[in-house]
Amino acid sequence: MVSQRFLIVIVSVSVAVLLFSSSTVSAISLQPNEKSLQTVKTCYGKLSQKNDWSNCNLKHVNISYKNLAGINFSGADLSGARFYDTNLTGANFAGAKLSGVSFNYVNLSNADLHGTILQSADFYHSNLSGANLQDADLQYSRFPSVNFQGANLSNSDLSNISAQTANFQNAILKNVKLLNAELLGSDFSWADLSGADLTSADNTGGFMTNADLTDAKVSGLDTASVDLSCHGNSICTE
């Protein structure tokens, strides 16, 4: 018999009951009406690409070594969840709550993460190439050696992130906030940073080869030993 454990989470007056096992996650989200508790969303079954987990309360779930390419987590509350060595290629997280989530060695290439709340998340050695992160809140998150190549982060807030040696080649970073971001050794070659706010960020030892910095704010930006063969800004050498 597979051992199971139950976790009851009470937030304000809403209740979420989660059931975990080695291959299934069952979640029943409840909220009170005037007279009694009524079920507003029931989520159950094996985690697979075929299941719809949109708008589910899945706080603190642990998911490892699974192929969940294309799975639908849109609008779900995955705060504090942990993903390890999982394939989430093309997954839909649009509008999801992902604060404090851990994505370690996870493939999120071409995933839809637009409008997500991703504060204080950890993306250790994960792949976000081609992902849609427009309008996402990524403040205080960690992206060590993360691949953002070709990703769209337009209008996102990446203030106070830690992203050493990250790959932002060909990424779209229009109007992003990178205030106080730690970007040591990160590569922004051919990236679109037009209108970006890089105030007090640190890109020491990084690369901005052919990057577009038109109208970017660069006050206090540390560019020691950076390849500044970019264009559109006074700090560029071209």
Model pLDDT for residues 106-154, shown as the tens digit of each residue:
999 999 999 999 999 999 999 999 999 999 999 999 999 999 999 999 9
What pLDDT sits at residue 24?
Answer: 52
Q: How far apart are CA 207 and CA 218, in angstroms?
A: 15
Mean pLDDT over 6-35 rounds to: 40
What pLDDT sits at residue 186?
Answer: 98
Those residues with Cβ within 8 angstroms of residue 236's Cβ, 6 or more apart along the chain or in another chain:
208, 213, 228, 229, 230
Give the global pTM.
0.82
Those residues with Cβ within 8 angstroms of residue 227's Cβ, 6 or more apart along the chain or in another chain:
189, 206, 207, 208, 209
Contact assessment for residue 207 and residue 228, using Cβ atoms and an 8 Å cutoff: no
- Given pLDDT bands bounded at 50, 70 and 90, which one contains residue 98? very high
What pLDDT sits at residue 187?
Answer: 98
